[in-house]
Structures are given as structure tokens and as C-alpha cells.
Structure 1
Amino acid sequence: MPPRPLIIDCDPGVDDAIALLLAFASPAEFDLLGITTVAGNVPLALTAANARRICHLAQRTDVPVYAGCPRPLLRSLVTAEDIHGSTGLGEGWLPEPTMPLQPQHAVAFLIEQLTTAAAPITLATLGPLTNLAVALIQCPAIAGGIDQVVMMGGSLGPGNVTPAAEFNLYVDPHAAKVVVEAGLPLTMLGLDVTHQVLTTPDRLAALENLGTPVGKAAAKLLRPYGQSECDSRSDPSRNRHSLAAPPLHDPCVIAYLLRPDLFTGRPMRLAVETEGTLCLGRTVANAYPSPTTPANATVIETADAEGIYALLTERLGKL
């Protein structure tokens, strides 16, 4: 089969960076048309620079990077430097990018690609959904050019930024509501799934032992990210979910596109809470859709962590 046309919308972010590397390492499966960035884990200027840093690391400066929305639709921006470091990629050891940022706005790029593509395009969304929501608002016809949207976001259980909400949807719940209600072929990989894919010491060592610049960089990125995400020794409040090791969120989206057999899920009726204060950004999934409330998403529930890490390690060994 020909490579799948793919656009990755992201907010790099350590786990976004690993997801980008996995996509770069899979040229037979993906025709990567571009990377769009949004404010999320860190502000927009940093996410746009970080995406280009990862392009340089993977020697994929042929993939264009577009900067998008600098803030959520209605709310003030919430960021996560406490998890991803002051730059979004740890403490700034990757060099400044020299490849140019594309002059076109990410939203304009999405609209152009989705209205002119010869074949429908898959969207992998790894951050807040602001760019896609604005594109849908400006040009609803883009829905016809979307093959599927696979998003990292939401949770069937507790959140990770509030008791109710996962970070990506909490940052811009109104954008998430636009996307969820747009009638798109949508797949959600939430915290329930990503908390099954843990960066254990053995898995981290396997990446480092690749001995390649990319393998060593991936391990170097993940090591401090892991300590801040899941270190109950220095700060018990960090390990809210009693995880044995830190979870790897965004690469699950790319792994799902490569190997859907590593995951299980089912159709559900998905909604996003935007009116409440205690539950703002909460994903509410009805596992029992009906004719009056039909399913509007496939919600992934389980993941084969060993298979996903084997895939990640094998692919990054090719870069």
C-alpha cells in the first residue's frame, strides 16, 4: 500500500518529540505532509522551534513546520514546563534549529491541504485541538478531506491536570468540543491507554543501547521527563496515579496508526464538558450508544506496552 498522507498537529513537549521521531522512522507507512504546532506544553514560539529541532535530529528537514494558534479559543493559556522543562525539551541541550519556519499559518495550511488533497488525509493530534477547531470553524468543508483524526487526549477515568480533566483537553476544552461534535471519524487515546505504556528502566536502556544519536537523544529526553512525571520519593503528589514508571502519551497515537493490532477499543458517544468549573475539559464517554445518541468516536481502552516499546525501539534504530 502507498504511504498514508499524514499531518501531525502537536505541542512539543518531550512525548511529542518521541512521537515525531517514530513517524519520521516510518517513511514506508507515512507520507508526512507537514507538522503544525500549537501552544500547549509550552508557548507557541517554543513548540514551533522544538518541532524543527526534532526534524534536525532525525535529519528530516524536508518536512515543513507551520506555527498555529498561540492561545486557546476562549481561555488563557495553561502550560506544563514543570513536566517538560523550561524549553519543552528538557533544559535546552538540543541546538537551535536552522531550518526555516514556514510563513503560512498552520490553520491556513490545514485548510489548503484538506480542501485540495487527492486523497483524504489522516490527522494525528498530540496537543490542544485549537488549530483543528479554528480550521473547522473557518472552513467546515475540510471535513471531507479528513480520512480520520487520531487524538491523544481525554480520559475515561481521572485526569492528570485536574481530578476531572486530561491536559490537552483542559487547555482548550472549547476547541475539543468543536472537534468532537464535527462528525469526523475520530479515535481517542486517553490516559486510560497511555498509563499502560510505561517507560521502565529496561525500556529506557533499550533506547539508549541503540547507540545512535537519535536513540541516545530519545533516552536523554525521556529520563528527566520520567523523573518529573512520576517521582513519588521527592514529591508524593507527583505520582497521583500510583504508576510504577512514567507514561508515554503521544507516541501511542503514531503506534496506533502503525500497528492498530496492539490496541483494543470500541465505539462510544463522546462529549466534552465546557460549562462546569469543577469538571472543565472532562471527556464523558457513553459506552452504550443508542439510536438517539449514536457513537461518534472509537475510544481505545487497552494497549500492548511491550509491543509498542518494541516497535518504538526497532523504528528509532533506523534513524
Structure 2
Amino acid sequence: MAQKIIIDTDPGQDDAVAILLALASPELDVLGLTAVAGNVPLSLTEANARRICELAGRSDLPVHAGCDRPMAGDLVTAEHVHGQTGLDGIALPDPTMPLADGHAVDFIIDTLRREEPGSVTLVPIGPLTNIATAFERAPDIVSRVARVVLMGGAYFEVGNITPAAEFNIYVDPEAAAIVFASGVPLTVASLDVTHRALTSREWVEAMRSLPNRCGPAVAGWTDFFERYDREKYGSLGAPLHDPCAIAWLIRPELFEGREINVEIETEGRFTRGMTVADWWRVTGRDANALFLREVDRDALFALLSDRIATLP
């Protein structure tokens, strides 16, 4: 049976590629998308989520708007990476499919209470505000979650928004602390693995040449997205962060990692939002996450190519 998932997202070009991968994969049953403020404000992330669904021919999917700010503090966004719309690189029309009724947090709670315990995986690829709020509001759902598979954090690569913190965790470290302490099985697609998933010109041009609308859209997003990483890191391509979380659900054998303890720094003057990953198991704290570090890059991009080619 296909794995039932809810994608919690703040699109974002790499979020968009992740959503397309999920919608193209028969191994996954996407129950809905929940939007959160992150890369850009909520008014843009919820509209972008609907644009992506329409691009993929899935206007039947419910898209719920969620939290418009972190649990504590002010919202930090990333227009410097993703552009003013969050999906700069191609022009997409305004979505015609409506937002689904109800708040994203209520959708998460209601879905987990309705479905069989252990049958729904949550896939947050943005800040963890919606997930943590649902856990706080309805503690009974925590034991019903099969797993949380998230993109966020770093250890060896350290930070991409501050010297110590990865963006998704930094935006709402209080929410991340709740999720990491929840006891739900966690898989963490960190910067350590996503920075090994770099695009190439050959792959981007192959996307552009696909005789559908999704392939050229991916190429346009990647053209825009790559410029930031070329300028910052001197890399030849851009890391497709969020697709790694989806790919792990489909082909976990492509990845290597370690079960370790991860704590979230919420108070440090210089380290707020840091994922304190006990990679070498020196603290004696119990493992609470499968922390991914390696990926078969060529197999990952072959999977993306194969699946995106099946979309409209």
C-alpha cells in the first residue's frame, strides 16, 4: 500500500520539486498540503502550494493555510534565496483552486485522529510551526504519527542562515524543540546530505527538454535557485534540499545516516536554532532521530528525472 503522507511546506523552489516528486510517486498517497510561513510569508506559501498542485494537474488536493509566524519571535524569511515570490524563475498564473476550509493545524489533527494509528507520516519541509502547534494542541495525536520525515538541521555543514543554524530550524527553534522531544520517530534530511544533492547543467537541461510543463518549470526554478549557491559557495549547482526528504520515503536505500540524539538550541546568543547532533554519541543521551549524511547523488537525480517525466 502507498504510504499516506501530509506535506507541510513553505514553497520555495526546492519545496516545489519535492512536491512534484511526491505527486509523481505511486509509493506515496498525499492526503493534503499544509502551508506555513518560512521562505516567504504565508500569503505567498499557500498560494505557491496551490500553484504547484495545479501545475501537476492535482487541483483536487486540499491545501490548507497554517501558521503565519513562529511560536516565539518574529518571522525570518528568505527572499534573498528564493526571490520575492518564493518561486522566482518562472511565471505561474494565480491559482484558481481555492484554499481548503479550515486551518492547517486542524487538518493535521483531524487527519491523524481519523486515519489508523501509525498510518500517516508527516513530511515537514519548512519550519516546524504547524507540526509543533498540532502536537501542543492535541497531545493524543503524537502517538498516532507513523514518522516525521523533515528537511532541516546540520552537523558537519553547520549553518546556512547563521554560522550555527540551518534555516528551517532557525525560523522556529521552539517548534523544532517540541518535535524533536516528542518521541515520534524522526528522519532528518540535514544540510550534510542535501549539500551532496547538487544539480548539474546536464540535468537542468534534460528537465528543460521534457515535453511536459513540469520539467521546464523545474529547469526555470533551478536556473534561479542556482545563482545563490554559485555566489555563496562557489558550487556548480544548487542543493535540492527538500526533495531528499521525499526521496528517502521512496528509496531509503539511497541514503546513509545514523541514529543519534539531536537537541535544539533555543537560547544561545550565537547558536539559536542549532541542531546539536551527537554524531559521535558522546553524551549518553538516547537517540531520537535518524540523521542522514550521505546520498547516492546520481541515483537520486535519476529518480527525479524518471518521476517528473510522468507529470503533465
Per the normalisation by structure 1, the TM-score is 0.94
Structure 2 counterparts to residues 1-319 of structure 1, below 5 A: 2-26=1-25, 28-90=26-88, 93-119=91-117, 120-157=119-156, 158-227=158-227, 229-232=228-231, 238-239=232-233, 242-289=234-281, 293-319=285-311
Q: Distance in 2 between matches of 1:277 and 1:69?
A: 26
The 3-state SS of whatever aligns with 1:230 is helix
Aligned 8 A contact 2:150 2:189 in 1: yes
Aligned 8 A contact 1:187 1:297 in 2: yes
Cα 1:292/1:155, change in 2 over 3 Å: closer
Q: Distance in 1 between matches of 2:224 and 2:282?
A: 45
Task: Name the count of aligned residue pairs.
Answer: 309
CA shift for structure 1 position 216: 0.7
Q: Extract structure 1 runs of 4+ deviating beyond 4 A.
A: 288-292
Residue by residue over 1:275-312, the C-alpha shift from the partner in whole angstroms, topping out at 9 and shown as x without a partner, is 11200100011124489511011101101111110000
Residue by residue over 1:181-203, the C-alpha shift from the partner in whole angstroms, topping out at 9 and shown as x without a partner, is 01110011110000000011111
Cα 1:291/1:272, change in 2 over 3 Å: closer
The 3-state SS of whatever aligns with 1:36 is strand
Aligned 8 A contact 2:90 2:217 in 1: no
Cα 1:45/1:92, change in 2 over 3 Å: farther
Q: Distance in 2 between matches of 1:287 and 1:231?
A: 29
Q: Distance in 2 between matches of 1:72 and 1:201?
A: 36
CA shift for structure 1 position 113: 0.7
Structure 1 residue ranges without an equivalent (≥5): 233-237
Q: Distance in 2 between matches of 1:302 and 1:292?
A: 24
Letter in 2 for 1:24: L
Residue by residue over 1:93-140, the C-alpha shift from the partner in whole angstroms, topping out at 9 and shown as x without a partner, is 100000010121000011111112125201111000000000011111
Letter in 1 for 2:198: L
Q: Distance in 1 between matches of 2:260 and 2:226?
A: 32
CA shift for structure 1 position 143: 1.1
Aligned 8 A contact 1:73 1:172 in 2: yes
What percent identity do the matched residue pairs reach? 49
Letter in 2 for 1:316: I
Aligned 8 A contact 2:207 2:218 in 1: yes
Aligned 8 A contact 1:195 1:243 in 2: no
CA RMSD of superposed structures (Å): 1.3
Q: Distance in 2 between matches of 1:205 and 1:93?
A: 18
